């Protein structure tokens, strides 16, 4: 009896042991579900397209706010004053305004990571492309596209930080040291010249396909920008080369000035804009453009058809900059909001029969261009209704009625390189010593080029043009397009102060501020990097 | 090559496995034989000290399954059987007693003494039990009668103030989980990673929400690594072993317990009334915008707060006969919050059946637990914020009945709080089922094999609707969110226990294997908008009309499957109950970690010396027990990881998700979302524990003193910066930090008074822990500090209020230094250079200023019994911690009083002070408090009715008073997580609760 029981028990134990040893393995390799990882991505053409998409999604992510702020808030074109302590945000906007940023300014850190993250990503994409099973033609086109985008990221880094490391492949086994700005310049030049041979040219039929992507004209226009600033970047002027690059762009007649200035920046701008050479596409789904969020006036939102979104009262231009909009008939002036405010009509002109009041009152909104600081407070205009009205706001990038409270995004694409800029740069290069040239049978003098721009804007024609008036023309034409810092440095005017009433702080006029510092975080992580002079 | 490696590792493992088994078999030396003898009847009465008959006492013939229980008068009758004539008398709350039957004795009367933490108490230690006297590690047991009364949702609440070293913070929010930190924080990761590991009836990794507090018999808290490391990689924060009530041999039992409770808000902020605010503004030459003053006087706190009525009912029955025991219980809880529209309803059904076969040598068991809960919540962040800030000068409603709003108002009070509560709802349905099957075989005497398979299914359905009047989703005609997810856990374990006593030697061995798979986050989430009316509350997403793709949000829902495999073994040896040794080893593998570090080894050794057994102690009559314990062990922390923690991931890049494709459509970019770290591994905690257990005056006073040093290394932080000149993304998840906790814990239990009718039992405990971050860096990854607690506030975007920094404790505040008010009444601060400035300082002006970790945590439980009356109370508190009262800071903005209400305390501030709201040391307050946490008066009736064993009626109060200098609503702010001790406009009101209840057993 007992023996039978024992048998049964041993049998059961043995069974358990078998079950146990069947499961008792050390297998920890659990298949990865519902995530793309190296084992299941990339495979298809769509995978590669999505991978390439990261070059552009990264570009749009930080171009519209942190990059833009470094290029504009450090100049007279834009300012975010404190509003009774609001928008102080640890002094980051006033540091930009007074050139007192430090190596741990949030924009300085973010944009470095954005740029080098973008560059590293391009290098990785080159590995992936080279290792793919695509045809040689597909690979060549892909590599050219990646190199052009990498050159663009390098251009941003060289323009902002100057002496940055040069990384051309992935993985990076040793932490790279700095290169001189001139070496980076030379690298970008070499890359752009090389890929301009391979990149597609915009045609009448491929404009959708190449929109927001590198094209021959993008490479030429960027080279023109490089050559125009070559003296700043390398000490060696290249004005003739700048003119040549402008002509290379203009020879392609699919690029033409659009009849309506406002179309270029409209919510629905896109491939149909004939003068855009390279734009950063934005949409409610492509985040990054928050121009309206910061640069519009919130109490006007209902009148502009966006009643449910609370915009910020933060950003405006300075009186100095606004005063440059002094040409009669100039449509470009009308996109600044100053004085008594009216609801815009169908043509986006103020409808004088429909004044806009502060909600629940009969007080008409009246924007005062003068920014008067509260005595004793650093760059703070106060936060009364009256002081909220201080500062000229902008609707150049027309407010997007599809904006929602959660994101406060604009769908307006932001042009980075466009024909008007190419033309003004050419005019400037000539004024700086290059010879005028003819394009498509037309001899282009600086005056001719400037007046083409003015004519499109409806402004009075200029009778003469010199370097200073050209800088003002650039201010009017290219306001809030993220070039002001670049222009002022080239003109040696980056250190020109434009004090506000009751200003207790003053600008750091050290010319070492023409370069941003290498961020503290990066110096710590990469001990081979050396800080820029002056920091 | 890879194949070969696999083969080798498998062979290696098999050798290890076989060695363990062989070791066990070698040690098996004898087989018991079973003798059958016919018996005779023994009768008697079991009484307590006052000679009152004790009903429900189990009487067992030792070494057999024969058992009986006493009737309502305490009488019993039992038939003797087996080789030994020893009767064992036992009852919950009393020391069990063994009596040898003399020759032909037929009557045996016994007196049972109440339990004063007797040393023979069984303590659950993981894959086995131990008597308290044989423990070598630091373990605290809390049994049902010691649990905190009141409206308890989660078992952690039962332990508050009862366990030295366990810091539990409880919110009055019915849907909030309490946070529990044992012996100080030892990780930088929040959530599960910081909480103790729960084991329910021996099943590791199950959700603690499955257990109704009234079904719990005991909770054992395993504190030091020599006790916990048998749970290896998940035991760093301690292990809480929950044992549910089971039927006793030969007994059948039916019990009902229930209570009803009234919860009231214990404290409100003293905000200005509308006339007071108008008056204040007038005095300062200000007037409200006409839209912000309609002549009303609204108390927003009163409008959205209410009295909560809660109830709980628990019915359970169990029985045991013919080698089977079984039981079932149903528990229903309805907990209404004190904030409108917050509540929790939960039903837990549990059943189990165990059957023995083959002369008791095989036991098969099955238990099933199902918990269904339904909770109602509001957007608390916005509601609690606006309840304070919203202007009292406007009425809640417009004349047409719509909610009154002024969306153009800036400042902090921009959303009508009543509208936030009424027009935005959150509903959550949760359904958890745990099934546990167990087989236990007595192979030969002393050798037992246990196999268990457990599964848990956790289905969670979240839905939220922001209706067309919602100020949180304006102009979208209703926004609905639905998120469904399923989490499944499967655990299979098999282990051998071998217990053998020879002479004075006592040996216990354990060897086991465990396999676990967690599949989580299987589901979807969708947000859509634009409904033609609000009548469906967003329950049917199909009826929405999103007009753009951006209005349809699909959640990222990666399904994570995680596998954990473990081998473990433990040996316990004692000589003469005097010298005790224990060693354990666990080898854990987890797929969460990097391919180079899948496996981790967690050893422990400990020993104890029962000094009381030494001869020289016989001359120290004061001592009735004395034991010195010491142990060292390593445990790990892998909680809170998913299957993707260490690998390269492609997905929506963190920097920009969409791009314009060459066809002109907006497409998803797919890029790197995570840098790979093949070296990612366990956080490991090594603990040295020295403890002393003592009993004085025949154990009238017992206690434990423990000292520990707990060092955690390889701390994981998710955002170690790496150079973007080297990596595609700027951060990596890596192990580099080190944290140290040192502490001392003292628990006492004293039977202060004991007379025939009256007894007073008093149990104080106090613990001290010192937490210090030792390092954040190693050779590869470097951080000087980690800034945490981004609290926001006017002009303070991007300003952090806490810092994790070597040399400082976790939860150290990093704040601007308040320097008082200047002659003009404006708040001034010290800048980094030490200069006093009257403007807003810079982020670099902040300095470390105290921390949120308490120096002492204490609790003091008392129970009094007088005849049929019992009275219990618990005083508990913390001492020496700081709270950042960011609520008070943000409220204190006199200059904004046109936009937001201000508290009465602000009346003393200058209207021109534009710096007073800045988060600074001014708002760093002492968080010390002493709370009379609960007091209960009970009366037990033992009617002389045949079918009723006892009925206890009680009334209980919770949070009766609190003594504190803290000026906010309550000092019990969340102490868990990496940003402890912050009160930032989101404090769910603390309640004061009165409950009345009944416990009846039949």
Omega cis (within 30) before B441: no
All residues of chain A having their beta carbon less than 8 Å from the beta carbon of residue B728 are: 117, 120-121, 124, 170
∠ CA(B831), CA(B926), CA(B337), 5° rounding?
Answer: 120
pLDDT reported for residue B3: 43
All residues of chain B having their beta carbon less than 8 Å from the beta carbon of residue A404 are: 476, 550
> Does the pLDDT at position B103 exceed 80?
no
Percent of chain B with pLDDT strictly greater than 70: 94
pLDDT reported for residue A14: 55
- pLDDT per residue as tens digits for the range B767-798: 999 999 999 998 888 888 999 988 888 888 88
Question: CA of B664, closest CA in chain A: separation in Å?
Answer: 6
Tell me whether B799 touches chain A (CB under 8 Å).
yes
The span from the CA of B915 to the CA of A86, in Å, is: 11
- Please judge whether A54 and B442 are an interchain contact, meaning their C-beta atoms are less than 8 angstroms apart: no
**Which pLDDT band, with edges at 50, 70 and 90, does A20 fall under?**
low
Strands (E), B576-697: 579-590, 599-609, 623-637, 649-651, 658-660, 666-668, 671-674, 683-696
B787 or A191: which carries more pLDDT confidence? A191
Least confident of B103-117, B293-307, B812-826: B103-117
Return all residues near B721 (Cβ < 8 A) that are at least 6 apart. A521, A524, A525, B730, B731, B782, B783
- Please judge whether B657 and A86 are an interchain contact, meaning their C-beta atoms are less than 8 angstroms apart: no
The span from the CA of B946 to the CA of B78, in Å, is: 20
pLDDT reported for residue B32: 33
The closest of A289, A406, A401 to B474, measured between CA atoms, is A406
All residues of chain A having their beta carbon less than 8 Å from the beta carbon of residue B918 are: 85
Q: Work out the average pLDDT over B506-512.
A: 92
Which DSSP helix (H) or strand (E) runs through B982?
strand B982-983
All residues of chain B having their beta carbon less than 8 Å from the beta carbon of residue A527 are: none
- pLDDT per residue as tens digits for the range A459-498: 999 999 999 999 999 999 999 999 999 999 999 999 999 9
- pLDDT per residue as tens digits for the range B980-1000: 999 987 788 899 999 999 999
Would you say B892 and B911 are in contact if contact means Cβ atoms under 8 Å apart? no
The closest of B129, B203, B199, B20 to B585, measured between CA atoms, is B20
The span from the CA of A4 to the CA of A27, in Å, is: 38
- Please judge whether B657 and A287 are an interchain contact, meaning their C-beta atoms are less than 8 angstroms apart: yes
> Does the pLDDT at position B53 exceed 80?
no
Percent of chain B with pLDDT strictly greater than 90: 49
Q: How many residues does chain B have?
A: 1002
Tell me whether B675 touches chain A (CB under 8 Å).
no
What rounded mean pLDDT belongs to chain A? 92
For residue B416, the tally of other CB atoms under 10 A from its CB is 28
- Among chain A residues, CA nearest to B9: A26
Residue B951, token pair as written in the block: 């009925």
> Does the pLDDT at position B112 exceed 80?
no
Tell me whether B364 touches chain A (CB under 8 Å).
no
For A241, B595, B601, B643, the CA distances from B559, given in Å and listed in that order, are 56, 20, 28, 9
- pLDDT per residue as tens digits for the range A90-130: 889 999 999 999 998 999 999 999 999 999 999 989 998 99
**Which pLDDT band, with edges at 50, 70 and 90, does B49 fall under?**
low
Least confident of B114-118, B338-342, B388-392, B658-662: B114-118
∠ CA(B56), CA(B60), CA(B66), 5° rounding?
Answer: 110
- Please judge whether B660 and A286 are an interchain contact, meaning their C-beta atoms are less than 8 angstroms apart: yes
**Which pLDDT band, with edges at 50, 70 and 90, does B943 fall under?**
confident
- Please judge whether B670 and A36 are an interchain contact, meaning their C-beta atoms are less than 8 angstroms apart: yes
> Does the pLDDT at position B909 exceed 50?
yes
Of A30, A47, A383, the CB nearest to B563: A30
> Does the pLDDT at position A176 exceed 60?
yes
> Does the pLDDT at position B948 exceed 90?
no
Would you say A480 and A394 are in contact if contact means Cβ atoms under 8 Å apart? yes
pTM above 0.90, yes or no: no
pLDDT reported for residue A194: 97
Tell me the β-bridge partners of B579.
Answer: B575, B609
Return all residues near A274 (Cβ < 8 A) that are at least 6 apart. A254, A255, A256, A257, A258, A419
Phi, psi of B598 (to 5 degrees): -65, -35
Q: B872-893: string of b/e by CB count within 10 Å (b at 16+)?
A: bbbbbbbbebbbbbbbbbbbbb
- pLDDT per residue as tens digits for the range B299-350: 999 999 999 999 999 999 998 888 888 999 999 999 999 999 999 999 999 9
pLDDT reported for residue B84: 58
Pairing of strands B239-244, B197-200: parallel
Which 3 state secondary structure label does DSSP give A521? helix
**Which pLDDT band, with edges at 50, 70 and 90, does B225 fall under?**
confident
Tell me the β-bridge partners of B818.
Answer: B829
Percent of chain A with pLDDT strictly greater than 70: 95
Q: Work out the average pLDDT over B250-278.
A: 91
For A312, A388, B282, B394, the CA distances from B898, given in Å and listed in that order, are 19, 15, 11, 12
Q: Work out the average pLDDT over B265-294.
A: 91
**Which pLDDT band, with edges at 50, 70 and 90, does A7 fall under?**
low
Of B474, B651, B794, the CB nearest to A86: B794
Which 3 state secondary structure label does DSSP give B212? coil
- Please judge whether B515 and A49 are an interchain contact, meaning their C-beta atoms are less than 8 angstroms apart: no
- pLDDT per residue as tens digits for the range B682-738: 888 999 999 999 999 888 999 999 999 999 999 999 888 888 888 878 889 999 999
Least confident of A20-24, A184-188, B640-644: A20-24
The span from the CA of A88 to the CA of B461, in Å, is: 42
> Does the pLDDT at position A366 exceed 90?
yes
What rounded mean pLDDT belongs to chain B? 87
∠ CA(A264), CA(A316), CA(A482), 5° rounding?
Answer: 45
The closest of B707, B715, B684, B704 to B604, measured between CA atoms, is B684
All residues of chain B having their beta carbon less than 8 Å from the beta carbon of residue A142 are: none
Question: CA of A286, closest CA in chain B: separation in Å?
Answer: 5
For A76, A317, A460, A494, the CA distances from A320, given in Å and listed in that order, are 7, 8, 21, 14
Would you say A531 and A523 are in contact if contact means Cβ atoms under 8 Å apart? yes
> Does the pLDDT at position B118 exceed 80?
no
For residue B447, the tally of other CB atoms under 10 A from its CB is 20
Q: B544-580: string of b/e by CB count within 10 Å (b at 16+)?
A: bebeeebbeeeeeebbbbbbbbbbbbbbbebeeeeeb
Strands (E), B831-941: 836-837, 847-851, 856-866, 869-879, 882-885, 924-926, 929-941
- Please judge whether A26 and B9 are an interchain contact, meaning their C-beta atoms are less than 8 angstroms apart: yes
pLDDT reported for residue A23: 52
Would you say B586 and B239 are in contact if contact means Cβ atoms under 8 Å apart? no
> Does the pLDDT at position B367 exceed 90?
yes
- Please judge whether A271 and B797 are an interchain contact, meaning their C-beta atoms are less than 8 angstroms apart: no
The span from the CA of B225 to the CA of B909, in Å, is: 53
Q: Work out the average pLDDT over B636-640.
A: 80
> Does the pLDDT at position B90 exceed 80?
no
Return all residues near A14 (Cβ < 8 A) that are at least 6 apart. none
Question: CA of A175, closest CA in chain B: separation in Å?
Answer: 6
Tell me whether A307 touches chain B (CB under 8 Å).
yes
Phi, psi of B62 (to 5 degrees): -60, 135
Of A21, A57, A361, the CB nearest to B659: A57
Enumerate residues 830 to 869 of chain B having a beta carbon within 8 A of any beta carbon in chain A: 838-840, 842-843
Tell me whether B797 touches chain A (CB under 8 Å).
yes
DSSP B827-847: EEEE-TTS-EESSPPPGGG-E
> Does the pLDDT at position B842 exceed 90?
no
For residue B12, the tally of other CB atoms under 10 A from its CB is 11
**Which pLDDT band, with edges at 50, 70 and 90, does A2 fall under?**
very low
End-to-end CA distance of chain B: 68
Longest Cα–Cα distance in chain A = 122
Of B653, B664, B843, the CB nearest to A54: B653
The span from the CA of B456 to the CA of B461, in Å, is: 16
- Among chain A residues, CA nearest to B362: A9
Phi, psi of B757 (to 5 degrees): -105, -20
The span from the CA of B99 to the CA of B59, in Å, is: 11
Could you give the dihedral angle defined by the CA atoms of residues B587, B590, B593 and B596, in that order, rounded to the nearest 10 degrees?
50
The span from the CA of B937 to the CA of B261, in Å, is: 15
The span from the CA of B492 to the CA of B246, in Å, is: 22
């Amino acid at each position: 009896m007992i023996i039978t029981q024992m048998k049964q028990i041993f049998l059961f134990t043995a069974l358990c042991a078998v079950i146990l040893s069947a499961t008792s393995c050390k297998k920890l390799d659990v298949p990865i579900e519902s995530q793309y990882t190296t084992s299941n991505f990339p495979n298809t053409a769509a995978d590669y397209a999505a991978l390439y998409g990261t070059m552009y999604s990264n570009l749009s992510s930080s171009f519209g706010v942190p990059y833009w702020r470094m290029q504009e808030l450090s100049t007279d074109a834009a300012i975010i004053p404190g509003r009774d302590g609001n928008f102080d945000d640890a002094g980051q906007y006033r540091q930009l305004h007074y050139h007192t940023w430090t190596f741990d300014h949030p924009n300085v850190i973010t944009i470095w990571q954005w740029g080098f993250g973008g560059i590293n990503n391009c290098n990785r994409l080159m590995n992936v492309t080279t290792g793919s099973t695509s045809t040689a033609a597909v690979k060549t086109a892909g590599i050219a596209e990646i190199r052009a985008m990498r050159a663009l990221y390098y251009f941003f880094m060289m323009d902002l930080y100057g002496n940055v490391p040069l990384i051309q492949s992935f993985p990076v086994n040793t932490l790279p040291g700095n290169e001189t700005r001139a070496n980076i310049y030379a690298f970008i030049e070499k890359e752009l010249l090389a890929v301009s041979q391979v990149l597609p040219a915009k045609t009448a039929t491929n404009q959708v396909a190449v929109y927001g992507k590198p094209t021959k004209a993008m490479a030429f226009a960027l080279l023109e920008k490089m050559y125009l600033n070559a003296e700043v970047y390398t000490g060696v002027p290249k004005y003739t080369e700048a003119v040549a690059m402008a002509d290379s762009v203009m020879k392609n007649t699919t690029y033409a000035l659009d009849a309506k200035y406002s179309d270029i920046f409209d919510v629905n701008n896109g491939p149909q804009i004939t003068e855009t050479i390279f734009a950063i596409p934005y949409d409610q789904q492509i985040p990054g453009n928050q121009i309206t969020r910061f640069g519009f006036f919130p109490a006007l939102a209902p009148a502009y058809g966006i009643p449910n979104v609370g915009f910020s009262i933060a950003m405006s231009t300075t009186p100095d900059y606004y005063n440059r909009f002094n040409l009669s008939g100039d449509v470009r002036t009308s996109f600044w909001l100053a004085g008594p405010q009216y609801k815009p009509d169908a043509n986006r002109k103020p409808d004088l029969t429909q004044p806009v009041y502060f909600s629940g009152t009969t007080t008409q909104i009246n924007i005062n261009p003068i920014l008067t600081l509260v005595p004793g407070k650093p760059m703070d205009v106060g936060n009364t209704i009256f002081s909220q009205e201080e500062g000229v706001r902008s609707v150049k990038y027309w407010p997007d009625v599809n904006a929602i409270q959660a994101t406060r995004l604009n769908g307006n694409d932001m042009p980075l390189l466009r024909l008007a800029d190419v033309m003004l740069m050419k005019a400037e290069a000539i004024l700086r010593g290059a010879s005028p040239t003819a394009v498509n049978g037309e001899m282009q003098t600086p005056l001719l080029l400037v007046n083409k721009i003015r004519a499109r804007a409806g402004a009075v024609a200029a009778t003469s043009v010199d370097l200073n008036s050209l800088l003002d023309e650039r201010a009017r034409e290219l306001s809030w397009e993220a070039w002001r810092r670049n222009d002022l440095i080239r003109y040696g005017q980056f250190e020109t102060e434009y004090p506000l009433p009751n200003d207790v702080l003053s600008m750091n006029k050290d010319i070492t501020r023409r370069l941003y510092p290498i961020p503290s975080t990066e110096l710590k992580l990469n001990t081979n990097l050396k800080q820029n002079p002056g920091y | 090559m890879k194949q070969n490696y696999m083969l080798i590792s498998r062979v290696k493992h098999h050798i290890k496995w076989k060695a363990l088994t062989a070791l066990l078999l070698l040690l098996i030396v004898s087989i018991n034989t079973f003798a059958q003898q016919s018996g005779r009847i023994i009768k008697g009465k079991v009484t307590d000290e006052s000679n009152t008959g004790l009903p429900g006492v189990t009487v067992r013939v030792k070494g057999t399954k024969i058992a009986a229980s006493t009737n309502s008068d305490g009488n019993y009758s039992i038939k003797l059987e087996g080789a030994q004539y020893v009767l064992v008398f036992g009852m919950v709350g009393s020391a069990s007693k063994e009596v040898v039957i003399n020759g032909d004795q037929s009557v045996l009367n016994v007196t049972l003494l109440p339990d004063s933490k007797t040393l023979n108490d069984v303590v659950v230690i993981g894959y086995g039990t131990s008597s308290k006297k044989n423990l070598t590690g630091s373990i605290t047991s809390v049994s049902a009668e010691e649990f905190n009364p009141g409206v308890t949702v989660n078992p952690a609440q039962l332990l508050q103030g009862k366990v030295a070293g366990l810091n539990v913070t409880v919110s009055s929010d019915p849907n909030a989980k309490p946070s529990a930190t044992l012996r100080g924080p030892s990780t930088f990761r929040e959530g599960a990673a910081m909480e103790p590991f729960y084991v329910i009836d021996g099943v590791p990794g199950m959700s603690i929400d499955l257990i109704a507090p009234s079904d719990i018999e005991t909770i054992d808290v395993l504190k030091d690594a020599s006790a916990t490391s048998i749970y290896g990689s998940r035991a760093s924060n301690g292990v809480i072993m929950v044992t549910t009530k089971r039927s006793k041999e030969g007994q059948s039992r039916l019990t009902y317990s229930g209570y009803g409770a009234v919860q009231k808000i214990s404290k409100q902020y003293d905000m200005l009334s509308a006339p007071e605010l108008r008056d204040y503004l007038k005095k300062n030459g200000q007037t409200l915008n006409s839209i912000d003053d309609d002549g009303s006087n609204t108390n927003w706190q009163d409008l959205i707060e209410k009295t909560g009525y809660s109830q709980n009912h628990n019915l359970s029955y169990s029985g045991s006969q013919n080698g089977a025991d079984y039981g079932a219980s149903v528990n229903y809880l309805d907990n209404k919050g004190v904030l409108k529209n917050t509540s929790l309803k939960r039903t837990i059904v549990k059943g189990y059946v165990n059957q023995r076969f083959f002369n008791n040598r095989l036991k098969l068991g099955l238990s099933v637990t199902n918990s269904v809960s339904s909770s109602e919540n509001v957007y608390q962040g916005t509601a609690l914020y606006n309840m304070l800030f919203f202007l009292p000068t406007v009425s809640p409603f417009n004349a047409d009945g719509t909610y009154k709003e002024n969306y153009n108002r800036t400042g902090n009070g921009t959303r009508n709080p009543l509208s936030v509560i009424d027009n935005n709802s959150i509903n959550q349905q949760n359904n958890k089922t745990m099934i546990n099957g167990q087989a236990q075989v007595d192979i030969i005497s002393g050798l037992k094999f246990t196999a268990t398979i457990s599964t848990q299914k956790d289905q969670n359905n979240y839905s939220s609707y922001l209706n067309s009047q919602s100020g949180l989703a304006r102009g979208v005609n209703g926004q609905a969110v639905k998120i469904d997810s399923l989490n499944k856990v499967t655990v299979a374990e098999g282990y051998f226990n071998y217990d053998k006593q020879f002479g004075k030697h006592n040996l216990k061995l354990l060897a086991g294997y465990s396999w676990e798979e967690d599949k989580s986050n299987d589901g979807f989430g969708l947000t859509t908008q634009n409904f033609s009316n609000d009548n469906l509350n967003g329950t049917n997403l199909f009826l929405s009309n999103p007009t753009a793709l951006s209005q349809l949000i699909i959640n990222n829902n990666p399904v994570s499957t995680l596998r954990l495999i473990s081998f473990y073994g433990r040996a316990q040896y004692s000589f003469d109950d005097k010298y005790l040794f224990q060693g354990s080893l666990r080898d854990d593998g987890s797929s969460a970690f990097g391919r180079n570090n899948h496996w981790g080894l967690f050893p422990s050794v400990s020993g104890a010396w029962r000094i009381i057994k030494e001869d020289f102690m016989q001359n120290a009559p004061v001592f009735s027990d004395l034991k010195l314990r010491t142990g060292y062990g390593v445990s790990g922390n892998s909680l809170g990881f998913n299957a993707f923690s260490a690998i390269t991931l492609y997905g929506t890049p963190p920097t920009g998700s969409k791009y314009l494709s060459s066809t002109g459509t907006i497409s998803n970019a797919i890029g790197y979302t995570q840098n790979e770290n093949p070296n990612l591994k366990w956080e490991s905690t090594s603990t040295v524990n020295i403890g002393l257990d003592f009993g004085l005056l025949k154990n009238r006073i017992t206690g434990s003193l423990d000292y520990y040093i707990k060092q955690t290394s390889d701390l994981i932080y998710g955002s170690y910066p790496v150079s973007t000149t080297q990596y595609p993304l700027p951060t990596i998840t890596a192990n580099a930090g080190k944290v140290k906790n040192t502490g001392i814990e003292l628990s006492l239990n004293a039977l202060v008074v004991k007379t025939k009718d009256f007894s007073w039992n008093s149990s104080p405990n106090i613990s001290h822990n010192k937490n210090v971050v030792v390092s954040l860096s190693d050779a590869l990854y470097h951080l000087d500090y980690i800034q945490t607690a981004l609290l926001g506030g006017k002009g303070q975007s991007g300003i952090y209020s806490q810092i994790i920094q070597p040399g400082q404790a976790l939860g150290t505040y990093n704040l601007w230094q308040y320097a008082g008010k200047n002659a003009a009444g404006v708040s001034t601060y010290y800048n980094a250079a030490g200069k006093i400035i009257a403007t807003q300082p810079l982020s670099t002006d902040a300095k470390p200023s105290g921390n949120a970790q308490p120096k002492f945590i204490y609790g003091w439980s008392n129970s009094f019994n007088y005849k049929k009356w019992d009275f219990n109370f618990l005083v508990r508190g913390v001492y020496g911690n700081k709270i950042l009262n960011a609520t008070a800071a943000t409220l204190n903005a006199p200059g904004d009083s046109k936009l937001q209400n201000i508290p009465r305390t602000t009346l003393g501030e200058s209207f021109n002070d534009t710096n007073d709201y800045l988060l600074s040391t001014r708002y760093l307050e002492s968080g010390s408090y002493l709370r009379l946490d609960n007091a209960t008066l009970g009366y037990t009736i033992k009617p002389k009715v045949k079918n009723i064993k006892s009925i206890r009626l009680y009334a209980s109060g919770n949070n009766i008073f609190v003594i504190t200098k803290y000026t906010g609503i309550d000092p019990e702010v969340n102490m868990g997580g990496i940003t402890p001790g912050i009160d930032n406009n989101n404090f769910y009101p603390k309640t004061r609760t009165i409950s009345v209840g009944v416990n009846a057993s039949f």
